[in-house]
């Protein structure tokens, strides 16, 4: 028995078919697939299904696929016939917009197939399909609904098997595979707070400790190598992944953090030198490194990255002020006296804090600026030149904050900085 053929020898980008006819065809073709194990019949059936899912205006609705159909598709990805497996993967990727395949062992099945000596094209397709299955299905079909908890539980439960697969994929030198895998990892880490939340943990088959142990197996060295390749197609996701792994505590091995962090700094320098690159992502990562460890801060100082950042502000009008001020304050707290001397030599940081203080009316930003300036004054052997030259206007603004009601939340900090600046002034007058 040959598969049903509705004469679909047409250009699928321009031709259309009614949703009712589509649903009926899919139902009958899957029935045909289940009834026959002949290679030719199955291949033609899969080709027909794939062609129809790509027709303009057609929704690959989950109502037309039974559990048996889904199981068959997943089973076929391990077929010894690669073209059958490829077509099955492509169909799964199309239906992933409507069906949560993470519930149906798609990740577990993928573990075995990627080690079967398949072609690069096949492995690309596996990676692409997994990426599609990682997205939450967006269904508009009446009676079909996938809530957030169901999605995050499936994502969490599959993370245990997913990380080893992705780690194996990252050994590939194929850029398309690496692109898909870095996007998957970025997506997974973006959802980390949700999948580790207590409401999801209570529904999961794995403990938080098991999930964290899996996430910590992400190969940080390989991600660094991908970032260091400076591929424009890989840079953004690799930056975001390393940012989470090194700054947000997913890899708690201090020696690894320092080793990889120090290697990343010169790569970030290259990225920041060209403002057309992933400047903002690199900037966030850099601030995270600088404010997390004194050794990493020293590496950033040694590579003169702050000069590069504040030189770039002349070209970039939307430098994130809140992020920058918060980071500079954290850096000022972390810096040793010797590091502070190095930081204030080129005046970029002091100039930025001064200029932002004088023009900002945002109390949250001003609060952080005052905290940062206070740290700088405390740790400086002599008052930085910009503060010395602009002391009068700085004190005037601080006095205004101290006396005016709207600034009451900032007033104690303003008073502290006033007291810090006056003793410094007296100290240097005595020396002269």
Write out pLDDT tens, residues 320-350: 788 889 999 999 999 999 999 999 988 889 9
What tens digit of pLDDT does each residue of 195-217 get? 989 889 888 888 999 998 888 88
Question: Is 364 among the domain residues?
Answer: yes
Question: Is 390 among the domain residues?
Answer: yes
What tens digit of pLDDT does each residue of 254-298 get? 888 898 999 999 999 988 887 777 888 888 899 999 998 999 999
Rounded distance between C-alpha atoms, residue 384 and residue 414, angstroms? 18
- How many domains are there within the chain? 1
Kindly report the number of other CB atoms within 10 A of residue 105's CB atom.
16
Question: Is 45 among the domain residues?
Answer: no
In the numeric block, which tokens belong to residue 419?
């007291």
Rounded distance between C-alpha atoms, residue 241 and residue 220, angstroms? 9
pLDDT of residue 2: 42
Rounded distance between C-alpha atoms, residue 238 and residue 67, angstroms? 37
Contacts for 195 with CB less than 8 Å, ≥ 6 apart:
152, 155, 156, 159, 188, 211
Question: Is 428 among the domain residues?
Answer: yes
Regions in the chain scoring below 50 on pLDDT: 1-14, 140, 142, 425-432
Question: Is 237 among the domain residues?
Answer: no
Question: Is 105 among the domain residues?
Answer: no
pLDDT of residue 431: 44
Question: Is 281 among the domain residues?
Answer: no
Question: Is 408 among the domain residues?
Answer: yes
DSSP H helices, 98-203, are 106-113, 120-134, 148-169, 175-190, 192-195, 198-201
Indicate the DSSP class of residue 4: P
pLDDT of residue 279: 83
* Helix axis angle, 175-190 to 220-228, nearest 10°: 120
Give the range of the structural domain holding residue 396, as residue numbers without chain letter.
321-332+339-432
């Amino acid at each position: 028995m040959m598969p049903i053929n509705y004469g679909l020898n047409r250009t699928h980008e321009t031709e259309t078919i009614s949703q009712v006819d589509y649903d009926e065809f899919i139902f009958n073709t899957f029935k045909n697939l289940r009834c026959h194990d002949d290679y030719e019949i199955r291949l033609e059936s899969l080709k027909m299904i794939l062609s129809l899912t790509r027709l303009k205006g057609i929704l690959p609705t989950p109502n037309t696929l039974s559990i048996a159909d889904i199981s068959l598709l997943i089973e076929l990805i391990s077929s010894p016939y690669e073209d059958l497996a490829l077509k099955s993967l492509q169909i799964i990727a199309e239906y992933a917009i409507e069906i949560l395949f993470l519930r149906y062992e798609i990740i577990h099945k993928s573990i075995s197939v990627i080690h079967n000596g398949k072609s690069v094209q096949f492995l690309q397709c596996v990676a692409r399909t997994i990426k599609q299955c990682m997205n939450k299905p967006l269904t508009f079909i009446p009676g079909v609904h996938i809530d957030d908890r169901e999605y995050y539980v499936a994502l969490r439960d599959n993370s245990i098997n997913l990380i080893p697969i992705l780690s194996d994929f990252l050994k590939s030198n194929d850029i398309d595979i690496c692109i898909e895998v870095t996007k998957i990892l970025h997506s997974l880490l973006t959802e980390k707070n949700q999948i580790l939340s207590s409401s999801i943990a209570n529904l999961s088959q794995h403990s938080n400790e098991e999930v964290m142990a899996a996430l910590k197996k992400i190969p940080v060295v390989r991600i660094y190598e991908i970032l260091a390749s400076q591929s424009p197609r890989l840079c953004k996701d690799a930056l975001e992944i390393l940012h989470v792994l090194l700054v947000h505590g997913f890899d708690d091995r201090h020696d690894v953090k320092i080793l990889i962090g120090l290697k990343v700094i010169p790569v970030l320098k290259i990225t920041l030198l060209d403002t057309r690159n992933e400047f903002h992502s690199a900037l966030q990562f850099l601030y995270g490194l600088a404010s997390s460890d004194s050794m990493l801060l020293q590496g950033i100082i040694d590579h003169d990255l702050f000069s590069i950042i504040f030189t770039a502000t002349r070209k970039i009008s939307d430098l994130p002020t809140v992020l920058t001020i918060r980071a500079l304050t954290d850096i000022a707290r972390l810096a040793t006296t010797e590091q502070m001397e190095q930081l204030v030599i080129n005046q970029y940081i002091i100039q930025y804090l001064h200029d932002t203080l004088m023009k900002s009316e945002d109390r949250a930003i001003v609060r952080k600026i005052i905290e940062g300036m206070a740290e700088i004054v405390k740790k400086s052997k002599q008052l930085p030149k910009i503060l010395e030259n602009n002391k009068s206007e700085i004190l005037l603004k601080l006095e205004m904050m101290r006396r005016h009601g709207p600034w009451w939340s900032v007033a104690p900090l303003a008073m502290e900085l006033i007291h810090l600046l006056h003793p410094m002034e007296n100290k240097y007058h005595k020396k002269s």
